[in-house]
Amino acid sequence: MSPLSQFFLRQRAELQRGPATLWLNPPGDLPWREFDHSGSFLAFSQDHVSASALRDTGAAVDFGVLPQAASPWQRLVITLPREKQRLDMLLRWAATALGEDGECLLAGEIRAGAKSAAKRLQQHFVHSRKIDNARHCVLYSAHSPRGDQEFCWQQQLQYWPLDLLTPPLQVASLPGVFAQGALDAGSQLLLETLAQQSFIERPRVLDLGCGSGVLGCWFLRHRPAAEMVMTDSSALALAATRATLKAARQHAQVLASDGLRDVQGRFDLIISNPPFHVGHQEQKQLSQRLFAPLRDFLKPGGRCIMVANRHLNYHRWLEQLSGHVHVLAQTSRFQVFCLSA
């Protein structure tokens, strides 16, 4: 069990008492039945992987950007996200979604930024205090929300121009979505490499871990007839991708998926700048898990072109995966690999 779920268990007495509670972004391994006396465990997750893990154990969990407006909540339990802007967004929403007497509990690992979280709580609530601190985790309680206007996440959408294209592609971003305001250096090397490749007129393409949608939308500019599928595990990323597509007047299937798990069919091309940080742990294992079934998703002659941080030393592992691996480009920091079916 993760340290955070162990910490939540430690708070069981506190969390079992009191009014109906909405859990926001609970860890996927939360032993939720321990907190649920009346069959009323309610949860909402911005992460498809955690939501699916909890659903697999029978919990009712909604997935999306933020819960729909409902009558004010009496208590919210929020897991501290790693990204400060995403925390701000969650707390702004919480301050408007809680009733006047409601309580906002914020829990997370100290290394996820718990110290600055205390300051951020004060910006959105009149009263806040630390309740407990153990197992490298901390729990805060806050009352008396300062928010008085309805909070609309669509107003958080921001756009930045991808100048690699003329006219520039307007790329949408939401708090916590990868590469805010500018193209990631690894993604740039991947796009520059893709620009030198040839593709059939109507390829079926998967943008795996699409983030803001920058890779898939760039590709659609080059091959407008492509059948594009864009997947990510983050609801915020999927919303940003939809906004990027809309701004570009492009069309794609946008899908919540844990890696290739929820993807159907085979592809001529899979493009990816895969995730290698989860929380604060560098996780080559995550990418290894995501790409393990890769060959089952490539058509004969199909290719996967992906960028990876050079120090992760992906080459040998990718060779085990495909047998046909070429390095198409490299810098001191990144390598672009091509895996063929």
Ligand X SMILES: C[S@@+](CC[C@H](N)C(=O)[O-])C[C@H]1O[C@@H](n2cnc3c(N)ncnc32)[C@H](O)[C@@H]1O
Q: Does 302 bind ligand X (CB under 6 A)?
A: no
Q: Does 184 bind ligand X (CB under 6 A)?
A: yes
Q: Does 189 bind ligand X (CB under 6 A)?
A: no
Query: Of the two residues 20 and 278, which places its CB atom closer to ligand X in the complex?
Result: 278
The rounded distance, in Å, linking the Cα atoms of 75 and 188 is 43
Site for ligand X in 161-180 (CB under 6 A): 178-179
Element (H, E) at 141: strand 137-145
Cβ 83 to ligand X, closest distance in Å?
A: 11
The rounded distance, in Å, linking the Cα atoms of 305 and 193 is 9
CB 107 within 8 A of CB 89: no
Q: Does 240 bind ligand X (CB under 6 A)?
A: no
Q: Does 187 bind ligand X (CB under 6 A)?
A: yes
Q: Does 337 bind ligand X (CB under 6 A)?
A: no
Q: What share of the chain is helix, strand, coil (3-state, %, to 5)?
A: 35, 35, 35
Residue 325's CB: how many other CB atoms inside 10 A? 18
Stretch that binds ligand X, among 198-206, 207-215, 243-251, 311-319 (CB under 6 A): 207-215
Query: Of the two residues 11 and 233, which places its CB atom closer to ligand X in the complex?
Result: 233
Site for ligand X in 30-69 (CB under 6 A): 49
Residue 282 φ/ψ region, left for φ over 0, alpha for ψ in the -120 to 50 degree band, beta for the rest:
beta
Residue window 258-297: x/- pattern of binding to ligand X, with contact defined by CB under 6 A: xx-------------x-x--------------x-------
Rule CB under 6 A: choose which of 105, 209, 303, 337 binds ligand X: 209
In sequence order, what DSSP letters do the residues of 271-340 get, joined into one string?
EE----EETTEE-HHHHHHHHTTGGGGEEEEEEEEEEEEGGG--HHHHHHHHS-EEEEEE-SSEEEEEEE
Stretch that binds ligand X, among 6-14, 113-121, 129-137, 203-211 (CB under 6 A): 203-211
CA-CA-CA-CA dihedral for 185, 190, 196, 198, to nearest 10: -160
Stretch that binds ligand X, among 120-128, 141-149, 197-205, 256-264 (CB under 6 A): 256-264
Cβ 284 to ligand X, closest distance in Å?
A: 13
Q: How many angstroms separate the first and last alpha carbons of the chain?
A: 37
Query: Of the two residues 95 and 290, which places its CB atom closer to ligand X in the complex?
Result: 290
CB 217 within 8 A of CB 248: yes
Q: Kind of pairing, strands 334-340 and 298-309?
A: antiparallel
Stretch that binds ligand X, among 151-159, 212-220, 292-300, 325-333 (CB under 6 A): 212-220
Q: Site residues (CB under 6 A) for ligand X?
A: 49, 178-179, 184, 187, 209-212, 214-215, 231-234, 237, 257-259, 273, 275, 290
